[in-house]
Amino acid sequence: MKNKKYITLGFAFISIALSLLFTSNLFAETPAKSSEASRLEALTKFTKVLSIVEQYDVDKPTIEALVDKALDGMMKNLDAHSNYLTEKDYKSLQVQTKGEFGGLGITVGMKDGALTVISPIDGTPADKAGLKAKDIILKIDDKSTLGMTIDEAVSLMRGKVGDPIDVTIVRAGEMKPLKVHIVRGIITIESVHAKTIGDNILYIRVASFDQKVAKDVKKAILAHKKAKGIILDLRNNPGGLLDQAIDVVDLFVDKGPIVSQKGREAKDEKIYSATTSATITKVPMVVLVNGGSASASEIVSGALQDHKRAVLVGEKTFGKGSVQVVLPITKTEAIKLTIARYYLPSGRTIQAVGVTPDISVTAGEVKTHKNEFALKEADLKEHLKKELAKVDGKKKADKEDKKANKDIITPEMLNKDIQLKEGVDIIKALAIIKG
């Protein structure tokens, strides 16, 4: 009873303070008075509801618990990426930022209210288990994701290395939900992989934009100076650091805006532009994208498209073009808040729209048909056997060399990836035109 008395007195003092603030603004200008009155009425309503719930709710919640719930609800209803971070959530976020933790290796987001896989990260447990971009997660073990925040879902999926987890998903084209069994592992990401296609095409795969991506991409380009074309593969790239996305575009574009960041105030606008000194190549380019390409990868692909510096091939990207910051509110708690949106050089937004490729190609294999009845010179009875033997021998040797070299993409590999095959064909055509 004593505690309730103090709480009631506390709310009484709040009401008196609000009334005094309201009275002190009676002689202010009309618009300011109206705005302040509305603000104070809202605060009064909040304290009143808080008092009633604390006093009469059947479960006897504490004021601290009610305030936490109110903050959580408020942040959830702002947008899909804003959250109130409790002490546990805040610690979890700090662990993730530092790097080594046990998890699945997927990036998730909210799309139409559903917890959706943006992309699995190359070589991680989720990738090996077969999770795909656009999979909708219905359950994590036996817990439904309905109404769950992204941070809550990430917290459930992260855990001790070696511990198993079952994820129930809905996938386009499947008649019923699928249960995927995954064993948690240490998530370490090798972000940049460089390979060659044929004699003169450089293939660069960027899995995510960590702090060394621009440096590693530059290193790959300088190591293959004779390349007549570059394919930049950003498929299933969930994004990462903004400065790395800007620096990667700067390697290919010598002037003009790369991306702009706009908040609620005009003074908060920032424009990031290309610099001539950072540009190291002007060879023809193709960028591969899909529904798992998000955030920083959308900035890179969209900027290169707007500058007409690259041809985009694949499928429409995810559409995450907002900026979040983590703001501490106590020593152990924080909020994650959306403060701005990204805009591409042409002024178009990425948020909830994505980037549409110049040439749409659905993922799959190249369909080939071998004609068993076609006759070639080698099938004729009196063909030049010695010359043929030399050619066959060289082809066989080349084939064996390519099989042994992991840094080469063979024609057989291309036929298993129709989007990459289309990109290679475009690069070849652009290289011929450029001469």
Domain shared by 53 and 107, yes or no:
no
Separation between Cα atoms, residue 107 and residue 264, nearest integer Å? 28
Range with the poorest average pLDDT among 14-28, 168-182, 186-200, 209-223: 14-28
Domain that holds residue 167: 99-186
Q: How many domains does the chain have?
A: 3
Residues shown for the chain:
435
pLDDT more than 70, % of the chain: 81
Domain shared by 116 and 164, yes or no:
yes
pLDDT at 434: 80
Band (383; pLDDT cuts 50, 70, 90): low
Task: Note whether 274 and 249 are within 8 A (CB).
Answer: yes
Domain shared by 145 and 207, yes or no:
no
Alpha helix locations (H) across 233-345? 242-250, 296-306
Mean pLDDT score, 366-381: 66
> Among residues 134, 228, 320, 336, which one is catalytic?
320
Domain shared by 238 and 178, yes or no:
no
306 carries an active-site annotation: yes
Higher pLDDT, 16 or 232: 232
> Among residues 82, 119, 295, 297, which one is catalytic?
295
Domain shared by 214 and 298, yes or no:
yes
pLDDT over 80 (residue 70): yes
CATH number for 157: 2.30.42.10
Flag whether 380 is in a domain: no
Domain shared by 345 and 249, yes or no:
yes
Domain shared by 202 and 297, yes or no:
yes
Higher pLDDT, 21 or 48: 48
Domain shared by 105 and 52, yes or no:
no
3 state SS of 179 = strand
> Among residues 306, 322, 336, 417, which one is catalytic?
306
How many CB atoms neighbour CB 1 within 10 A? 4
24 carries an active-site annotation: no
**Domain final residue, candidates 315, 339, 360:** 360
3-state helix, strand, coil in the chain (%, to 5): 40, 25, 40
How many CB atoms neighbour CB 198 within 10 A? 15
Domain shared by 296 and 203, yes or no:
yes
225 carries an active-site annotation: no
Flag whether 432 is in a domain: no
**Domain final residue, candidates 360, 390, 423:** 360
Range with the poorest average pLDDT among 27-31, 297-301, 318-322: 27-31
Domain shared by 130 and 198, yes or no:
no
Flag whether 284 is in a domain: yes
For 12-42, b where at least 16 C-beta lie within 10 A, e where not — what string?
eebeeebeeebeebeeeeeeeeeeeeeebee
- The tally of CA atoms less than 13 A away on the side-chain side of residue 108 is 29
CATH number for 210: 3.90.226.10
Question: Token pair for residue 389?
Answer: 């033997």
Domain shared by 169 and 197, yes or no:
no
Per-residue pLDDT reduced to its tens digit, 36-51 = 889 999 999 999 999 9
